[in-house]
Amino acid sequence: MQDNLPVLGIPRFQSFTSVFSRNAMEESSILKTFSPGNGDEFHYNVTQRSQRFITFLNPKTPTQLKSHTVVLHGPAGVGKTTLAKKCMLDWTQDDLAQTCPHAFYLSCKVLSRKGTCSFAQVLAESAPDLRDALPQLLAQAQKLLFVLDAFEELRVPSGVGALVHDLCGDWRTQRPAPVLLGSLLKRKLLPTATLLVTTRPEALRELRFLAERPLLVEMEGLSERDRRAYFLRHFGEEARALRAFHLMKSNAALFRMGAAPAVCWMVCTCLRLQMDEAEDPRPTCQTATSLLLCFLCSRFAPVRGSCPGPHLAAALRALCLLAAEGTWAQTSVFDGHDLRRLGTDESDLRPFLDRSILQKGRDCEGCYCFVHLSVQHFLAAALYVLGSEDHQDAGSPGWNIGGVQRLLSKEEGLKNPHLAPVGRFLFGLANEKRARELGTTFGCPVSTEVKQELLECRIRSAENRPFSSVTDTKEILYCLYESQEEQLVKEAMAQVTEVSLHLQDTSDMVHAAFCLKHCENLQKMWLRVEKGTFLENDAAWESEAQADRSQHDHVFLHLWIDLCSVFSSNENLCFLDVSQSFLSHSSVRILCEQITRVTCHLQKVVIKNVSPADAYRDLCLALVGKKTLTHLVLEGGVHSDKLLLLLCETLRHPRCNLRYLRLGSCSDTTQQWADFSSALEVNQSLKCLDLTASELPDECTKLLCMTLRHPKCFLQRLLLENCHLAEACCKELSSALIVNQRLTHLCLANNNLGDGGVKLLCEGLSYPDCQLQNLVLSHCNITRRGCRYISKLLQEDSSLTNLDLGLNPIATGSWFLCEALKKPNCNLRCLGLRGCSITSSCCQGLASVLISTQRLETLDLGQNILGQSGITVLFEALKQNNSPLKILRLEIDESSVEIQKLLKDVKDHNPNLTIECSDARASLSPCCEFLS
């Protein structure tokens, strides 16, 4: 496919001054400016972005200073081919008399259709006038430039990877054309020559596999200023031009496509026609489908009172079939053979050639391509909705085209990136009004059956669970928005109960706001907003950009209002997680307004790493007195200095029903902790308090322990992991455990308590009124001595049933634990000894526990090097039929034949036993799952 339109003319370039970095693989971008010229020509200036860059496309540049392979990549239609040809011109005109440089243009589109040949033959066909001089030219390859245009069109049946094993170093040897190009890229053939390769982004991965140390240069196409200038020039009248320009800009996806001049031309053509006829042009830019449908139909607008002839319907079907074949084959260039195979010829397609929808290729004689890749994708989608009396299924074996299910499958999408846009256009054409417009314009029947196929194929996953990943969510919302068919969206979203949104630009917001209002059964939402999405708080914006910034936020906030309305309009939505998000003051205010409404029934709210910092304060205010709220997580970021005070207000409120509260990384003042502790004494709903990673000085710990001793404290679970606690705090905790009869779970992991702290804790735990069942002391610097205190506690009929001592240097201290576990009055059911330096010498004691214990059901020995002898001892003990053990976690080599035999023997004797093979990544013992 050509990168420029005949209707626009071939761009004229000023002297080529592009400069690039000497460092291999360093990516840079080309800045382009566009200004009107005579006729329909355009001028591009290529400038540098860094003074460190050096001129590369110059034969006189020293070899050691220039990159031999430069890859010019960018989306379809941005002018890569034209720029590459201008590079050729600059190369050959540089001091020709002295250096004798030559440049060769090699079209991958052409070479893909060529059979076995030599590289000399390829060059002779590319430049017939140099046929006799080729030996002399190739002997000085350092003076040669080879342009390999449209690498994405290179078709290698066995895959690009196969070329590496089939390279050729002799330019006279006959080999398949792709092998010759692969040899050139791999520097097996003419290694000192300079290569300039153009490609679309989807082929970059394969190209980087072949190219030796390429310099990647991105060509972004027309800048926003260029596009604006294009509209001004096309319309002539500034008011209409700017109106049309802003309509295109209002659709972020369409505006990105407008980097290609062809898309700008199509938009201008459609909008100008509608403005001339006093029609509302806004719907045209609503979606890419509506634009391309308008463009296609406007080119075939019937004369008043006439009807399209049957030949037009046949021509459309042939064109759609050609487009679909090319999409599935990942090609955008077609020759006479392709047309004949599909039962058509150039005369059949003449209506589309005459109207610049299909073009004859400039670089490939007898070849055809669409005016822009998006047009090919649109027409490929249209094939699935076209109907006829002898309708043939799009997935027929006679054609190389998959059906709707294959088109929308993940597997096919990974292999062929062109299928995704076709799928979106297919959703767009599922809109019955659009399908009828297409059928009426071309006089052909259209099918509405595709709508049900889309619901079955796209929305449901194999497990009957929609939106199985964030990527799926983004793509599905895109597709549904493209349809603009509310009934289709409602049926699709009716199945959705959970959704994860990653908002990166206006398009994401538009799609989500449109679809979620139809999501009546939505229960859980995860929300992430990228930096720069809201610009209100972005200090990086310069004063001259205030107008654009204000307009951006105005549009975006209206969309945000639509999105947030789901919290007050959907009574089933009970869970919200806003994490890793960059909001603005206005967006936070809007979110809070929806949450405070009585129709909002949120039960669990998670706020993690959100900016601005005031968002935590505002959300707390919004949640004060919300009766439905039972779980609240406030973590990360820089919390407001009044956060604890606001939480005090929440906890004291008579309608507070909060049961779980997590405050991550709090470092408030002692007075604020005092107020918070007093609020806990008043509150009767909170059952779990998680203060993980919060700084708790001794005074604050004392305040918290005073609360635990209060007779009206209803806390059942307290998590103080990594709170900078030391041995001294254990005395206060111990006294609280003696008095408190409600606390059943206590986590003190990652605190330097030491053996002294354990001794103090055990004193409190030994009192009969203590009801603690789960105790986590992982990574608390406990040694053999501490195990003695714990052993004594366990033998005194303690209430403890779950104990985690992981990541402590216990070593031989496990012997004391084993002695306690063998006692009939030991109530421990779950013991975590992960990463406790236990060796094979400790396994005999553990084996005796497995034989004699009456209650132990879970034992975590992960991240301990037990050796095969130690594992054998344990497995022999497990063959005893009386062992109550249900879960055993070990670090073992499952690939070992001996281990496999031992595992089988144990499973034969204990079919109810689960042996989990852990690794260094394991973080929690089974006994600690209450923390999750």
Minimal CA–CA distance to 722: which of 682, 699, 752, 700? 752
Minimal CA–CA distance to 177: which of 227, 237, 275, 109? 109
Q: Element (H or E) spanning 561, and its range? A: helix 546-564
Indicate whether 172 and 280 sit together in one domain: no
What pLDDT is stored for residue 442 in this prediction?
92
Greater confidence (101 vs 385) lies with: 385
If pLDDT is split at 50, 70 and 90, which confidence band does 429 have? Answer: very high
Do 783 and 817 form a contact (C-beta atoms < 8 A)?
no
Residue where the block lists tokens 């999409």: 327
Rounded CA-CA distance 355/350 in Å is: 9
532 pLDDT exceeds 70?
yes
Q: How would you write 679-690 as a 3-class SS string?
A: HHHHCCCCCEEE
- Domain end position, chosen among 201, 218, 235: 218
Other C-beta atoms within 10 Å of 28: how many?
A: 18
Residue where the block lists tokens 């008095």: 739
The segment with the largest mean pLDDT, out of 156-160, 200-204, 833-837, is 833-837
What pLDDT is stored for residue 23 in this prediction?
30
Q: Is residue 83 part of a domain?
A: yes
Q: Which two tokens stand for residue 542?
A: 């310069």
What pLDDT is stored for residue 881 in this prediction?
67
769: amino acid identity, one letter: D
Q: Is residue 618 part of a domain?
A: no
Q: Is residue 235 part of a domain?
A: yes
What pLDDT is stored for residue 162 in this prediction?
60
Rounded CA-CA distance 429/624 in Å is: 47
What pLDDT is stored for residue 32 in this prediction?
32
Total domains in the chain come to 3
Greater confidence (590 vs 13) lies with: 590
Greater confidence (175 vs 3) lies with: 175
Q: What is the mean pLDDT of residues 555-572?
A: 91
If pLDDT is split at 50, 70 and 90, which confidence band does 273 have? Answer: very high
311: amino acid identity, one letter: H
Q: Render pLDDT for 845-879 as a digit per residue (tens, 0 to 9).
A: 999 999 998 899 999 999 999 988 999 999 999 98
Rounded CA-CA distance 603/625 in Å is: 12
Indicate whether 56 and 197 sit together in one domain: yes
If pLDDT is split at 50, 70 and 90, which confidence band does 398 have? Answer: low
28 pLDDT exceeds 70?
no
What pLDDT is stored for residue 66 in this prediction?
54
CATH number at residue 820: 3.80.10.10
What pLDDT is stored for residue 259 in this prediction?
93
Specify the 3-state DSSP secondary structure of 103: strand
Indicate whether 198 and 247 sit together in one domain: no
Indicate whether 36 and 121 sit together in one domain: yes
Q: Is residue 281 part of a domain?
A: yes
Rounded CA-CA distance 625/352 in Å is: 65
DSSP 450-488: HHHHHIIIII--TTS-S--SHHHHHHHHHHHHHHT-HHH
What pLDDT is stored for residue 52 in this prediction?
30
If pLDDT is split at 50, 70 and 90, which confidence band does 471 have? Answer: low
Q: Is residue 847 part of a domain?
A: yes
Indicate whether 870 and 829 sit together in one domain: yes
What pLDDT is stored for residue 231 in this prediction?
96
- Domain end position, chosen among 218, 243, 274: 218
296 pLDDT exceeds 60?
yes
Q: Which two tokens stand for residue 465?
A: 């669970």
CATH number at residue 36: 3.40.50
Do 120 and 172 form a contact (C-beta atoms < 8 A)?
yes
Share of the chain above pLDDT 90, in %: 53
What pLDDT is stored for residue 20 in this prediction?
31
What pLDDT is stored for residue 643 in this prediction?
78
If pLDDT is split at 50, 70 and 90, which confidence band does 101 have? Answer: confident
If pLDDT is split at 50, 70 and 90, which confidence band does 759 have? Answer: very high
Rounded CA-CA distance 476/514 in Å is: 12
The segment with the largest mean pLDDT, out of 205-219, 438-452, 827-841, is 827-841
699: amino acid identity, one letter: E
Rounded CA-CA distance 127/121 in Å is: 10
Rounded CA-CA distance 80/82 in Å is: 6
What pLDDT is stored for residue 274 in this prediction?
93
Q: Render pLDDT for 760-781 as a digit per residue (tens, 0 to 9).
A: 999 999 999 899 999 999 999 9
Rounded CA-CA distance 148/211 in Å is: 12
What pLDDT is stored for residue 744 in this prediction?
96
Minimal CA–CA distance to 827: which of 799, 790, 804, 848? 799
DSSP 723-767: S--BTTHHHHHHHHHHH-SS--EEE-TTSB-HHHHHHHHHHHHTS
433 pLDDT exceeds 50?
yes
Angle between helices 784-794 and 754-765 (to 10 degrees): 10
Q: Which two tokens stand for residue 375?
A: 């047009």
First to last CA, the chain: 55
Q: Render pLDDT for 70-96 as a digit per residue (tens, 0 to 9).
A: 999 999 999 899 889 888 888 887 654
Indicate whether 141 and 237 sit together in one domain: no
Q: Which two tokens stand for residue 860?
A: 């975590």
What pLDDT is stored for residue 534 in this prediction?
86
Range of the domain at 208: 18-218
Greater confidence (392 vs 35) lies with: 392
What pLDDT is stored for residue 363 in this prediction?
66
Q: Is residue 124 part of a domain?
A: yes
Mean pLDDT of all residues belonging to the chain:
83
Do 509 and 250 form a contact (C-beta atoms < 8 A)?
no
User: Which pairing describes strands 774-776 and 19-20: parallel, antiparallel, or unpaired?
Assistant: unpaired
Q: Is residue 313 part of a domain?
A: no
Lowest mean pLDDT across 441-455, 833-847, 910-924: 910-924
651 pLDDT exceeds 70?
yes
What pLDDT is stored for residue 644 in this prediction?
83
What pLDDT is stored for residue 529 in this prediction?
95
What pLDDT is stored for residue 447 in this prediction?
86
Burial-class residue 606 by CB neighbours within 10 Å (0-12, 13-18, 19+). Answer: middle
Indicate whether 172 and 252 sit together in one domain: no
Q: Is residue 770 part of a domain?
A: no
What pLDDT is stored for residue 645 in this prediction?
83
User: Which pairing describes strands 12-13 and 175-176: parallel, antiparallel, or unpaired?
Assistant: unpaired
Indicate whether 201 and 251 sit together in one domain: no
Minimal CA–CA distance to 330: which of 415, 233, 211? 415
542 pLDDT exceeds 50?
no
Q: Which two tokens stand for residue 299?
A: 């080119």
304: amino acid identity, one letter: R
336 pLDDT exceeds 80?
yes
CA angle, corner 617, sides to 611 and 620, nearest 5?
120
What pLDDT is stored for residue 455 in this prediction?
84
Other C-beta atoms within 10 Å of 803: how many?
A: 25
Phi, psi of 15 (to 5 degrees): -55, 135
If pLDDT is split at 50, 70 and 90, which confidence band does 551 have? Answer: low
Which CA distances in Å does 729 have to 608, 622, 734, 778, 854?
29, 35, 9, 17, 35
Burial-class residue 579 by CB neighbours within 10 Å (0-12, 13-18, 19+). Answer: middle
What pLDDT is stored for residue 232 in this prediction?
95
Indicate whether 210 and 229 sit together in one domain: no
Q: What is the mean pLDDT of residues 741-751?
A: 96
Q: What is the mean pLDDT of residues 289-311?
A: 84
Indicate whether 166 and 258 sit together in one domain: no
What pLDDT is stored for residue 592 in this prediction?
96
- Domain end position, chosen among 266, 286, 306: 286
Do 928 and 858 form a contact (C-beta atoms < 8 A)?
no
Indicate whether 41 and 185 sit together in one domain: yes
pTM: 0.81
Indicate whether 188 and 237 sit together in one domain: no
Q: Render pLDDT for 201-231 as a digit per residue (tens, 0 to 9).
A: 988 888 888 888 888 888 888 999 999 999 9
Share of the chain above pLDDT 70, in %: 83
What pLDDT is stored for residue 652 in this prediction?
92
Q: Render pLDDT for 679-729 as a digit per residue (tens, 0 to 9).
A: 999 999 999 999 998 888 889 999 999 999 999 899 999 999 999 999 999
Alpha-carbon dihedral sign for residues 568, 570, 576, 579: negative
Q: Render pLDDT for 123-134 as a digit per residue (tens, 0 to 9).
A: 998 888 888 888
Q: What is the mean pLDDT of residues 771-794?
A: 96
What length does the chain have? Answer: 932
CB burial of 658-697 (b: ≥16 within 10 Å; e: otherwise) equals bbebbbbbbebeeebbbbbbbbbbebeebbbbbbbbbebb
